[in-house]
Structures are given as C-alpha cells and as structure tokens.
C-alpha cells in the first residue's frame, strides 16, 4: 500500500500500524491541489512499488458556513481539493492503467452528492462533482479495462466534521 497525503507524520503512524500487522506500506507526500506534487507522488509511488493497480481518491476538505458568507477562496479551496484534485490524481495514474488494460479507481464521494445540506454548499457541490466525474471516467475508461466507482458514505465522526457533531 502507498499512503499519500499532506500530513506525512500521520501517514507514518498508519504505516507503522500496517507493518505491525504484517503488511507493507510506503509513505509519499502529496498535495492534490498542486499538479507538480501529484506527478511527483505518482512517480515516487511507482518507483517504490511498481505500477499502480488501484487508486483510492480520498482527499476531502469542507467548511461550515452560511451560503451568504462563503468567499471565493473558501469555495476554491474545497473544489480544488475535493473535485479537481481527484480528477488530476486519476489522470496521473490512468495512462499506465489504460496501457495495461487493467486498473481500478475508487473515488470517495458522500451521501451529500444526492441531497442538499445547509451550511456546507461548497462541499455538497464538490461531492456532486465527484459523482459526475466518476460516471464520466467510468464511461471513458471502461473500454480499456479500467473500472471507476464511487463510494458515497454517510456521516461518521472525523476531525473535519467535529463541529457538526457538536451541534
């Protein structure tokens, strides 16, 4: 398993847990909002582990704000991380998968892609984008043996939505 993300120290802790249970894990720094970081992380992962067979696109951020208080930078941060980042990470691994005529992409969406929720409009829009992106990638890449699916989990307690759980 290659663990990729901005918070490398957290990933190192997870790597230790995986290895403690007999698995093999590598850590790669990745900022999905930075195209150069995406290319570097994919190259590093492929150097460490070989071709990428399965990608789990799990980046996500959000903000809890009234719609009238959302600033362009708030909206861009959420969309660039959640939707644009997922697109470009998938793109970065697709060529190899298409060439081998096999690969799996799993995008982590949200039940918010199917329902509207107050005070998280940019997040809802980004997850709706993931749902639509998944369908488009699946349609385009299926002919080359690459499947693309979206998992849309409901609410569970994380640091990101701690405020919602307290309300």
Classify 152 as helix, strand or coil.
coil
- Any residues with CB less than 8 A from the CB of 104 and at least 6 apart, and which? 53, 54, 55, 146, 147, 148, 149
Catalytic residue among 123, 124, 126, 129: 123
Q: Is 123 a catalytic residue?
A: yes
Classified as helix, coil or strand, 159 is: coil
Is residue 102 within 8 A of residue 53, CB to CB? The reply is yes
Catalytic residues: 123
């Amino acid at each position: 398993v290659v663990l990729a993300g901005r918070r490398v120290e957290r990933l190192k802790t997870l790597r230790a847990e995986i290895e403690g249970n007999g698995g093999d894990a590598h850590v790669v720094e990745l900022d999905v909002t930075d195209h150069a970081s995406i290319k570097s992380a994919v190259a590093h992962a492929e150097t460490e582990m070989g071709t990428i067979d399965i990608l789990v696109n799990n980046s996500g951020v959000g903000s809890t704000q009234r719609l009238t208080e959302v600033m362009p930078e708030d909206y861009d941060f959420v969309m660039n991380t959640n939707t644009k980042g997922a697109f470009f990470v998938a793109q970065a691994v697709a060529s190899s998968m298409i060439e081998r005529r096999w690969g799996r992409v799993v995008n982590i969406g949200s039940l918010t892609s199917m329902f509207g929720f107050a005070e998280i409009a940019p997040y809802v829009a980004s997850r709706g984008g993931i749902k639509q992106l998944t369908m488009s990638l699946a349609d385009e890449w299926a002919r080359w043996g690459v499947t693309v699916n979206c998992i849309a989990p409901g609410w569970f307690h994380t640091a990101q939505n701690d405020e919602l759980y307290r309300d």
